Structure formats: structure tokens, C-alpha cells
Amino acid sequence: MNFANVQTILKLPRRQTDEQQIPLLTVLSRLTWLQWSHFISGFLSWSCDAMDFYSVSLSLTSLSTKFGKDTHEITTAITLSLLLRTIGAIIFGFLSDRFGRKWPLVSNLLFVTILELGTSFVQTYDQFLAVRALFGIGMGGIWGLASSTALENLPVEVRGLASGVLQEGYALGCILAGVVNLSLVPEKQEQLGVDSWRALFWVASGISFFTAVFTMVIPESRVFVRAKRETEGIGAMQRTRVFVEETRKMVQLHWKVFIYAFLLMTGFTFISHGSQDLYPTFLQQSKGFSVRDASLATIIGFCGAIVGGAFAGWISQYIGRRLTLIFYMILTGAVIPLWILPTSFAALSAGAFMIQFAAQGSGGVPYQVIVNAPPQIPIQLSEVSPPAFRASFSGIAYQLGSMVSSASAQIEATGGDNLRVFLSKSDGTFANVPDYGTVQGILIGVTAAFVLIVTLLGPENHGSHFERYKAAFEEGGGEDAVAERESASVDEVDQQYKEKGLMSS
């Protein structure tokens, strides 16, 4: 960004329109089952990832009892998972951009399945930390692959809405974890005692395995089928050499945009984990709620995230990504008092719904932001990535942001250790408990202001057709070259899909 762009950067975003004004419902009615299948695969993958991760937050009290550690020590597992996510984003992201979406995602899901099952069998604190650290690698790969799989075959007119819904697959995973924690975990207490928390990870591993099988049976992304057809006759080693060279070009051209994406993702992951990871503990310890009520309030909050995400994604198609993000960040700051100050279940649940509507709902927007670099080099950041590197670029930016925010749970736990409040008990006495509410409110308020500033300084140009660009293993992919596919080749691929019922005529 140079001085000539300052005036544009400081302007509020204006409404962006698509080249063809096709009604949203019309576009949705035309989607093929293949497009729906790819979206469902990505959505379920992200939900599985979230379910396992949030299961640790729901089990903090039980894990503390099991391993004889305080909350601060147990949250080390959350920190380790977030720290190692970048490794997974690099490994699985580049595999996906090089070889396609299907099998790298299947491998990633099976890796996560094994680690989820492994978590349910750990016997010591050290084993628990080791498995959760490895899970961070698996978790790191999921988002970039899931988002690319879900969105790259959809029409541009629905990508805003789809992005909002996709991101709230995370909220659905957390809801599933909450439901299991309310139902199956109590049922297993008579049989497993203090180890009933293990049931959460049994269910999570089963759902991840189902998603891997589902992804296994649907076809590869149409975008990659076309790209591979165009490079037939070129050996695998030559494709890899091209991929390495195009990766080098991509880094040279897009490093400034990567910094912007990294800062944006840092802010959003701080908001996400700062409002979620210690929330059940806040309700139990700072507000005196039972495990059941804390789980119910958590589920209500994530319902707000799903509604907020879908609404944010939809409205961003009409008023722009930046304006939507700005509105949601202001709303986040406004509802913080309702989120942490009430004492009744109804009021706190309403606050949980609104904070997740605003804070998590806005998460459906940044992954659709498209940023322009210098005018001569159009840079598409749909899902925070250049066109040919949608899985790796977006995943690495996202997970580096997560790495920075990895200590959010420990920051809140430490803050609660030093900032105390007296809780009135049913017997008329008072207990000195951590004031997690104030700590969470400060952290989310400061972070929302940071995201608002980054968003204001970030340009916008959404509506790009990233499916028209070359793949990362084609010459020109790292320079955002548009793929001039031979019509015969394109028609041949489309005809094969139609014959298999994967496309409408």
C-alpha cells in the first residue's frame, strides 16, 4: 500500500455488485448435488475440528480433577494445540494446492480421527499434552482445505452467504460437543466415574471418521480436474518443480497482503478463543452455574453464532465486507456488558447469544475479503489467499493468527488468578472466585477495537471469479494468471460430469 492509496483506504467501503444480477434463491436452486456435496464436506470437516477442540474447554473441570492440575495448567493443552496449527496448515495446505482437495483432506480427517480417539485413552497429564499438541497439527490443516473444498465450485453470487454458513460449522461443532456433554457424559458417569469426559472424544472421533468416508466417496474438485486435464503429459516431478517455482513467485508478490491477512486473523482468533475457551469455566466458577446450565448457555451462544454468521455472509454481498465487519465489531463492543455482568441464567444466555452473534458471526466475513495490491497485479484474497494457493495461503495466515492468540485461555486464566470477586452461595456464605468475566470483557473489547482498525485500513474488491485462475502446479499460477482453457478440454470435463449426474445440463 503506497501513499497514493491512503485516500481510498480511509474511505468506508461502498456496495459492491456482481457482473450478473441473478437472484440468490435462483442461484441456490441451480446448485448441483456435487456442489452441495463439496460444501457439506467442507462444513462437516470444520465442525469435526471444532467439536474436538471445544471438548477440552467443556472438560476443563473434569480434566483438572483427573490429572490433579489447576485450570491454568490444563489450558496449556489448548495453547499447545494452537501453537502447532501452523505446521499442519503448511503441510496439508501445500499438499492440497499441489495434488488436489480430496485426498489431502481425507488424510487430514483420518489423522484427526486417530488423535481424537487417542485423547480418550490418555492416562497421564504428559500423555494428554502430547496428544493435544499433535492434534494441533491435524487441526491446522483442516480450515484451509475445508474452506477451499466447500467454496471453490460455488457460483460467485452465493459465496458470501456460503462463507458465513461455512464458518459457523465451527459453532455447530461446539454445539454438538455441548449436547454430548449434556447427554452422553452424565450417562457414562456411573460406568466411568471421573473419566466420563472421555465420551466426548469417542463421539468426536466417530463423526470425523464419517466425514472422511463421505469426502472419500465424492469426486475431486472440478477446478482441479480441469487443471490436471490441461497438464496431461507432464510428469509428476515436472509438475512439482513448477509448483515450487510458482510458490516462490507467489511469496514475492503477495507478502504484503499476507501481513494484512495475518493481522486480521490474529484479531479474529483472539476474539474467537477469548470468548469461547474459558466461557464454561466462567459460568461455573465465577457465576456459580452447574455444569448442565453452563453447557446450555454455551449451546445458546453458539446458536447465535450460526445466525450471525449466515446473516453477515449474506449482507456482505450487498454492503461490502469491510462495512459488515465494522458494524459487527461495534456490535461486539456494545454487547460485552450483557455478556458478563448479569447473574441470572436468562440474561447471561441472552448475552451469550448476542456476543456470539456479533463476534463469531463476523467470522464468516474475513475469509471472503479480497484485497488489491498495486494496480498492475490484481491479488485475490477470497478466503484470504491468492487464487492458486487458496488452501495453503489462507490456512497459514489463519493458523499464524491462531498461534499468536494461542495463549488467550492462559491469559484469561492468569487474569482470573489475580483478579478475584466474591460469589454469594446458596447457604449465605461468600466464596472468593476468579473474576473471569472482567478479564474476558477487557480482552474482547481491546481485540474488537484492533480488528476494527485493521479492517478500516484494509482495501476491498470482492466478487472475483477465482475459479478462472491457473492452479498452483501450472506455469503462471503464482502470478495469478487467468487460465485460458481450451474449450474442447473444458467441454469434455463438463460432459463427463453431466453423464455422471454431477452437473445439470
* CATH number of the structural domain spanning residue 277: 1.20.1250.20
Alpha helices by DSSP H, 68-101: 71-83, 85-99
Is 160 part of any domain?
A: yes
Is 5 part of any domain?
A: no
Answer yes or no: is pLDDT of 169 > 80.
yes
Question: How many other C-beta atoms can be found within 10 angstroms of the C-beta atom of residue 21?
Answer: 7
Q: Quickly state the pLDDT bin for 15 (edges 50, 70, 90).
A: very low
pLDDT digits over 142-158, tens only? 988 888 888 888 887 78
Considering only residues 500 and 9, tell me which one the structure prediction assigns the higher pLDDT.
Answer: 500
What's phi and psi for 431, nearest 5 deg? Answer: -115, 135
Give the list of residues 6+ apart from residue 430 with CB closer than 8 angstroms, or none.
Answer: 422, 423, 424
Average pLDDT of span 215-244: 83
- Angle 458-146-459 (CA atoms, 0-180°, nearest 5)? 10
Return the pLDDT at 480. 67
Alpha helices by DSSP H, 70-197: 71-83, 85-99, 102-119, 125-151, 159-167, 169-182, 184-192
Q: Quickly state the pLDDT bin for 336 (edges 50, 70, 90).
A: very high
Average pLDDT of span 110-114: 96
- Asked whether 77 and 129 are in contact (CB, 8 A), the reply is yes
The model's pTM: 0.75
Answer yes or no: is pLDDT of 14 > 90.
no
Give the list of residues 6+ apart from residue 344 with CB closer than 8 angstroms, or none.
Answer: none
Is 19 part of any domain?
A: no
Considering only residues 270 and 225, tell me which one the structure prediction assigns the higher pLDDT.
Answer: 270
- Asked whether 45 and 105 are in contact (CB, 8 A), the reply is yes
Q: Quickly state the pLDDT bin for 504 (edges 50, 70, 90).
A: very low
Is 17 part of any domain?
A: no
Domains contained in the chain, number: 1
Distance CA 217, CA 37 (A): 10
Q: Quickly state the pLDDT bin for 505 (edges 50, 70, 90).
A: very low
Return the pLDDT at 223. 77
pLDDT digits over 346-375, tens only? 999 999 999 988 876 655 554 444 333 322
Is 121 part of any domain?
A: yes
- Angle 107-112-113 (CA atoms, 0-180°, nearest 5)? 95
Is 451 part of any domain?
A: yes
**Residue among 168, 223, 199 at smallest CA distance from 59:** 199
Q: What is the mean pLDDT of the chain?
A: 79
Average pLDDT of span 268-276: 84
Return the pLDDT at 459. 58
Answer yes or no: is pLDDT of 315 > 70.
yes
Answer yes or no: is pLDDT of 276 > 70.
yes
Answer yes or no: is pLDDT of 30 > 60.
yes
Q: Quickly state the pLDDT bin for 45 (edges 50, 70, 90).
A: very high
Return the pLDDT at 503. 47
Answer yes or no: is pLDDT of 461 > 80.
no
Answer yes or no: is pLDDT of 265 > 50.
yes
Question: How many other C-beta atoms can be found within 10 angstroms of the C-beta atom of residue 293?
Answer: 18
Return the pLDDT at 49. 87
Return the pLDDT at 91. 93
Grid cell locating 338: 450483557
Is 214 part of any domain?
A: yes
Answer yes or no: is pLDDT of 378 > 60.
no
Is 311 part of any domain?
A: yes
User: Domain range holding 138?
Assistant: 32-493
Grid cell locating 70: 489447576
Return the pLDDT at 235. 78
